[in-house]
């Protein structure tokens, strides 16, 4: 737990790090909106190219950005296949017969069992999943026996292929834009940016400073609480608690045994934190001076104007 890093921030000093967090947040939102105005696959690919150019010129490692895709990978693959299977417009570009016979069904079942067993012992789970899908496909296509129960003709249409890659690349571009923000901005700076941006909400009696403080305290304590959870788990395990085995009821009991001390400790700590803040003259809602003051630079104006131009451009493409 010593190497736990919150957020994805990677230290660096290229131009993107020098942009004001306020501008970065606004630009991220503007770029994301403009992605929605793009309608063809070529425009999306263009946008992706633009983002990649920004990533490379800002010396942010592409590998780290690609890693940001990981949580959405299953979703995007699902969307991709969904479109291929069900969008049947245009011309057929590829057609194949999927044969469901006794042998191929047995092959599918044994492949699934094999996949579940191997999955526990391997590190490249995603790669294994792809191999699994591939072998399922192969067993349906190439196992040809006489007792075929049912044949499904899989037709892949050019429009389906186009839409599916459009949806897929749009998702990828969106994630890259978001990663661009999180990779190059510290969580603390993002909070600070939001604090400044939410200031106008004061007319609705929402104090953005307090809001930002709540968020930053929450962020600050995530590693602490995680660390604590691990220690409690250790303490329980040393008294014979089994976190892996057991039935559902036992698991629930174990989780309760973990949550109770965590809640008690967290409440105690928040009380103490509040006292410590009050003893250092913190008065909720009262104005105070700042250590970090965001300064608007010419470069920030340029970035903001450019983001607006991109948004305008994509709206033009949409309308025309």
Partner 1 sequence: MGISLKEVNFSYNPKRKGTKYALKDINLEISPSDEFIAIIGETGSGKSTLASLFNALKIPTSGEAYVSGIKIKKVRKRRENYNKIRKHVGLVFQMSDYQLFEETVLKDVMFAPLNFKKTKEEALKIAKSSLELVEIDESLFGVSPFTLSGGEKKLVSIAGILAMEPDILIFDEPTAGIDPSTKKKLLKLFRSLNEIKHKSVILITHDMNIVNEYAKRVILMKDGTISFDSSPYDLFVNNRKIVKDANIDLPDSYKIIDLLKEKTSVRFNENIKIKNLGNIVEELINE
Given the rule CB under 8 A, which residues bind partner 1?
Answer: 2-3, 121, 228, 231-232, 234-242, 244-245, 256-258, 260-261, 264-265
Q: Which is nearer to partner 1, 246 or 284 (CB)?
A: 246
Residue with tokens 């009050």: 278
Smallest separation (angstroms) from partner 1 to the CB of 240: 3
Of 258 and 317, which CB lies nearer to partner 1 in the complex structure?
258
Q: What are the backbone dihedrals phi and psi of residue 87, each rounded to the nearest 5 degrees, phi first?
A: -95, 95
CA distance 302 to 320: 26
Residues belonging to the chain? 320
Q: Closest distance between partner 1 and the C-beta of residue 222, in Å?
A: 18
Return the number of the residue (93 or 273) whose C-beta is nearest partner 1.
273
In the complex, the smallest distance separating the C-beta of residue 10 from partner 1, rounded to whole angstroms, is 17
When the beta carbons of 46 and 261 are compared against partner 1, the nearer one is 261
Closer to partner 1 by CB, 218 or 260: give it.
260
Q: Would the CA dihedral through 43, 46, 52, 55 be positive or negative?
A: negative
Distances, alpha carbon 37 to alpha carbons 152, 159, 180, 312, 318, in Å: 37, 19, 20, 10, 6
In the complex, what is the shortest distance from the CB of residue 64 to partner 1, in angstroms, rounded to a whole number?
17
Distance CA 20, CA 238 (A): 49
Nearest to 132 by CA among 145, 148, 119: 119
């Amino acid at each position: 737990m010593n190497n736990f890093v919150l957020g994805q921030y990677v230290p660096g000093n290229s131009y993107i790090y020098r942009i004001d967090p306020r501008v970065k947040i606004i630009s991220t939102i503007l770029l994301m909106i403009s992605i929605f105005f793009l309608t063809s696959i070529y425009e999306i690919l263009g946008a992706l190219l633009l983002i990649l150019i920004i990533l490379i010129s800002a010396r942010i490692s592409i590998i780290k950005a690609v890693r940001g895709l990981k949580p959405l990978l299953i979703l995007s693959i699902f969307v991709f296949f969904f479109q291929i299977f069900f969008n049947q417009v245009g011309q057929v570009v590829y057609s194949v017969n999927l044969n469901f016979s006794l042998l191929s069904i047995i092959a599918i079942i044994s492949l699934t069992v094999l996949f579940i067993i191997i999955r526990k012992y391997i590190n490249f789970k995603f790669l294994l999943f792809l191999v699994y899908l591939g072998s399922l496909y192969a067993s349906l296509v190439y196992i040809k026996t006489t007792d075929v129960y049912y044949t499904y003709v899989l037709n892949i249409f050019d429009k389906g292929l186009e839409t599916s890659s459009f949806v897929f690349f749009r998702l990828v571009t969106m994630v890259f834009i978001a990663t661009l923000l999180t990779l190059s901005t510290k969580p603390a700076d993002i909070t600070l940016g939001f604090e400044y941006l939410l200031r106008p909400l004061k007319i609705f009696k929402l104090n953005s400073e307090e809001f930002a403080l709540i968020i930053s305290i929450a962020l600050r304590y995530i590693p602490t609480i995680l660390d604590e959870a691990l220690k409690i788990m250790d303490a329980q395990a040393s008294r014979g608690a089994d976190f892996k085995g057991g039935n559902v009821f036992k698991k629930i009991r174990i989780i309760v045994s973990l949550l109770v001390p965590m809640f008690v400790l967290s409440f105690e700590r928040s009380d103490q934190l509040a006292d410590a803040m009050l003893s250092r003259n913190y008065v909720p809602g009262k104005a105070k001076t700042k250590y970090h003051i965001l300064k608007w630079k010419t470069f920030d104006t340029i970035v903001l104007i450019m983001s607006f131009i991109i948004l305008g451009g994509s709206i033009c493409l949409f309308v025309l």
